[in-house]
Amino acid sequence: MSSFFARNLKRSYPTVSGASGAWVEDEDGKKYLDGCSGAVAANLGHGVAEIKAAIIDQLDRVAFAHTSQFISEPALLLADALIELAGKSFKGGKVYFSSGGTEAVETALKLARAFYCERDGVSTRSLYISRWNSYHGSTFGALSITGHPARRKPYYSLLRDQPHISPAYPYRCPCGFGPGPCSSVDCSLARADELEATILRVGPENVVAFIAEPIVGAALGAVGPVGPYWQRIGEICTRHDILFIADEVMTGLGRAGANFALDRWAVKPDIIVVGKGLAAGYVPLSAVIASPKVVAPFLSEKSSGAFEHGFTYSGHPLACAAGLAVIEYMKKHGTIASVAAREAAFQSRLQAMMQFDFVGDVRSYGFLGGIEFVADRKTKKPFPVELKMHRLVADQSMKDGLMVYPGAGFVDGGGGGDHVIVAPPLNISDQDMDTLFVRLTQVFSGISKQLMAVRT
């Protein structure tokens, strides 16, 4: 038995041996179509020559230099490129680099608190408001604000008790709308107004920030709100002088068919967190993009200018060179615009999966698609937890040479509810996209038969 601490020590995993474009190969020569960019990270597929060349070029110059001693050209250029992508309101802002999504979320949480300390002197603010059915990362800080009961439960007594509000989740709207998703703007805004009610309950002077995924990824499967929900959230944060942090670790950098998912609602947060697609899986890299408002107190006369925080590998030159090459590739190939142009076709192919009666809902933004499974379409009852429907689908997909990203445990806090995310590389060819949906349909036909056997 290997010494490698696998995700699940009782499962076996194929050993990866190669990859090219949207295809990944194991040591037995079996090929898998990457229908979820690994974990919605390998956004440009595998083996992109320009990215490889940029990494090797940087490796030849200098791989590592610590940010307490040096800054590096790729870090400077990537920071500028991210500020430009974030748009006019971020001009004059700053970018803090880290290695993974969780690290970046932790950075954003600390930066938000440090902002108030710098601006107001010692701050009493200690609360972060977030949403149920969210995923923000796996360390204690990020897990405290994560709204995924199953991931929190084993560590519950060690987490900080932070307020969570309801998500905007049209398919399971509290109004009971069905069998499809609720399209009521009033319902959606009522969820946003929970933020204001919570702020008033705890006192705005005690709140540091509101943090949310503009489109919920791992914890719900590509769920966004109806109507001007994000505008309302932005207004509430501004009205109560609370920072708005957009966790775009999964949705940022083109995944949702825009630079950042919140651009779809024309809303600008105070802080944007990115990871996953930033270096597209080539190396670990994440970042916090801070608006000028957040940076200003650190530049004031009375401030020391220091943000009391840091990682050894922050701003790693090799990682930043990869991130820069990813952005340059996307600009050169018009990748984000092409996702936007192909989004409707992707959505209608996902919609076709409704032909299977165990599919309750499908939703998508750009190339981020979610398929939610139900035992009963009319009542939206989820499958029994023990069935592990999400695993059943993901495992069958792997058998059939397709990768999809499974998630579960979002209904009623009891571990019920299953979905898979379909999120191919943003530059997937039309032919590979066809193959993806042919295979997905085959997988679902196989699942249909398995369910028939369970039901009879």
Ligand X SMILES: Cc1ncc(COP(=O)(O)O)c(C=O)c1O
Residues written for the chain: 456
In the complex, least distance from residue 399 CB atom to ligand X, rounded to whole angstroms:
24
Instruction: Report if residue 102 touches ligand X, rule: CB under 6 A.
Output: yes
Report d(CA 171, CA 228) in Å as an integer. Answer: 17
- Residue type for position 173: C
How many residues touch ligand X under the rule CB under 6 A: the total is: 14
Report d(CA 353, CA 355) in Å as an integer. Answer: 5
Residue placing its CB nearer to ligand X in the complex, 135 or 298:
135
Instruction: Report if residue 217 touches ligand X, rule: CB under 6 A.
Output: yes
Report d(CA 106, CA 271) in Å as an integer. Answer: 12
Residue placing its CB nearer to ligand X in the complex, 249 or 288:
249
Instruction: Report if residue 170 touches ligand X, rule: CB under 6 A.
Output: no
Report d(CA 69, CA 11) in Å as an integer. Answer: 44
Instruction: Report if residue 137 touches ligand X, rule: CB under 6 A.
Output: yes
Beta bridge partners of 376: 381
Residue placing its CB nearer to ligand X in the complex, 136 or 380:
136
In the complex, least distance from residue 99 CB atom to ligand X, rounded to whole angstroms:
8
Instruction: Report if residue 275 touches ligand X, rule: CB under 6 A.
Output: yes
Report d(CA 354, CA 348) in Å as an integer. Answer: 10
Segment interacting with ligand X, rule: CB under 6 A, options 198-206, 212-220, 303-311, 440-448: 212-220
Instruction: Report if residue 105 touches ligand X, rule: CB under 6 A.
Output: yes
In the complex, least distance from residue 152 CB atom to ligand X, rounded to whole angstroms:
14
Report d(CA 217, CA 219) in Å as an integer. Answer: 6
In the complex, least distance from residue 239 CB atom to ligand X, rounded to whole angstroms:
26
Instruction: Report if residue 249 touches ligand X, rule: CB under 6 A.
Output: yes
In the complex, least distance from residue 214 CB atom to ligand X, rounded to whole angstroms:
9
Q: Which of 38, 45, 74, 100 binds ligand X (CB under 6 A)?
A: 100
**Mapping DSSP to helix (H, G, I), strand (E, B) and coil, where does residue 17 land?**
strand
Contact 240, 3 (CB under 8 A): no
Instruction: Report if residue 74 touches ligand X, rule: CB under 6 A.
Output: no
Contact 329, 48 (CB under 8 A): yes
Instruction: Report if residue 167 touches ligand X, rule: CB under 6 A.
Output: no
Residue placing its CB nearer to ligand X in the complex, 255 or 439:
255
Contacts of 285 (CB under 8 A, 6+ apart): 97, 99, 275, 278, 279, 316, 319, 320, 322, 323
Segment interacting with ligand X, rule: CB under 6 A, options 96-104, 264-272, 308-316, 355-363: 96-104
Segment interacting with ligand X, rule: CB under 6 A, options 59-67, 211-219, 312-320, 387-395: 211-219
Instruction: Report if residue 169 touches ligand X, rule: CB under 6 A.
Output: no
CA dihedral 189→190→195→197, nearest 10 degrees, is 140
Residue placing its CB nearer to ligand X in the complex, 146 or 397:
146
Q: Which of 38, 45, 101, 370 binds ligand X (CB under 6 A)?
A: 101
Instruction: Report if residue 247 touches ligand X, rule: CB under 6 A.
Output: yes
Residue placing its CB nearer to ligand X in the complex, 160 or 331:
160
Residue placing its CB nearer to ligand X in the complex, 249 or 375:
249
Report d(CA 408, CA 224) in Å as an integer. Answer: 17
Structure tokens at 70: 């040096």
Q: 207-240: b or e for each residue (b if 16 or more CB lie within 10 Å)?
A: bbbbbbbbbbbbbbbbbbbbbbbbebbbebbeeb
| Residues lying near ligand X in the complex (CB under 6 A) | 100-102, 105, 135-137, 213, 217-218, 247, 249-250, 275
